[in-house]
Amino acid sequence: MRTAFYFDEDVAYRQGLSNRPDLGVLRGILAAVPTHRRHVHILRGTLGYDIVARSSEQLDAVVEYLLGIRQPAWTTLAPQALRDALGKHNIAAFVVRGLLAKDSRAIHASLQGSSLGYLGAIQVQPGEISWLLYDSSLPPVYRIVGNQLRLMYRNYEVKVEDDRDHGDFQQWKESGLFDHVSWEDTGLQGTFFDPYDNPDHARMTGESEELVSDQMARIVDEIILRVAQLDPRLVRQINGALKAFDTLDTGDSLAHVSVSCRRLLERLADALFPACKEKIDGRKVGQAEYRNRLWAYINKSIKSHTQRDVLLSTLEDVGRRVDSLGAVANKGLHADLSPTEVQRLLIGLLTLIYDILTLTAPLATVPEAPYAEYASDFARELLRNGGDDDPDTPLRGT
């Protein structure tokens, strides 16, 4: 997702460097985005809306486009407020790529309460107008990776005269916000020699983002549909595991991720292949051997040796990653674990669950096991009360 944060340039930059919007935006990013998934790219500059709006009617069309009236977009700005801002003020825009919707909301909240001249935020729509307003007009200024800040420049431009803002660079180093501050050479990207700097490529990039998002959303929908039918208690396990990933930033969080992943796989095994005393192909499949039980379910459900080997290999890999994560957390070595490794575990876990759940068609009969305990408790309560239930309390489903 790309989000544009708008400021009244004349107000926002009046207070000098110590209170400029850059500080508010970057602080907001650091507070909103956990370190393990923090990779954002930032364009910044004066919004030249007059490039695409030379009349009042054209300005109305631009406002409609930006606010997603033709294509829904997340925004905090009302149409008239945006039109007034564009028509009456110079707009400083920060376009941030690499945010989730909730990140953008959190950054907006922090800016709303602390930054002078802040106007609001808009999700950037893919297309020619966005390319003209943002990509082709606003230079890249920052990249944040984890706790590192990079200031953008073009190496070939400084070979004759180094006109980089070294004062700005030093201020960011002294700010204490980042563990490391460095330069990043953007090379030929965005120059006359860049064949991809055009509206068509921008449109294709936006479409690709939407297609990937749609496909991933479909996988998630299928997982939730399946577990809701198989065992609703799995939803709680999935929720716990995903929340653990989302808040991962300390050694305690690593341990929580490991435990959450294991509990999710255990519950999945309970639903698909309940524990039993007999061995299956020489493997124990008791309550503790949840990976063996998943292995047995896969082995039983797949006839193709190739497909079976691939899925069993994925199971082995995810199980090994879960165990490794737990070991790292227990030894206090979380600093040695890269965010990429954690993301691979999350992707592998979701892929494994999707593959296992879709091995067979959805069940024709909803299992009674997830509801058995509640039904037994209800029956015991009836017996305790002499079989007379409260007439004023209707039964569920009636």
The pLDDT of residue 396 is above 60: no
Closest CA to 32 of 1, 71, 69: 1
**347 — pLDDT class (breaks 50, 70, 90):** confident
**Beta-sheet pairing, 2-8 with 118-123:** antiparallel
> In this predicted model, what pLDDT tens digit does every residue of 39-57 receive, in sequence order?
999 999 988 766 666 667 7
pTM for the whole thing?
0.78
The pLDDT of residue 334 is above 60: no
Q: For 98-210, list the strands marked E by DSSP.
A: 118-123, 140-145, 148-153, 180-185
The pLDDT of residue 157 is above 70: yes
Q: What integer pLDDT is reported at residue 172 of this predicted model?
A: 92
Closest CA to 92 of 45, 53, 133, 54: 45
Give the Cα separation of 148 and 177 in Å (integer): 9
Closest CA to 355 of 280, 290, 301: 301
The pLDDT of residue 201 is above 70: yes
Give the Cα separation of 116 and 134 in Å (integer): 22
Is the Cβ–Cβ distance between 20 and 12 less than 8 Å? yes
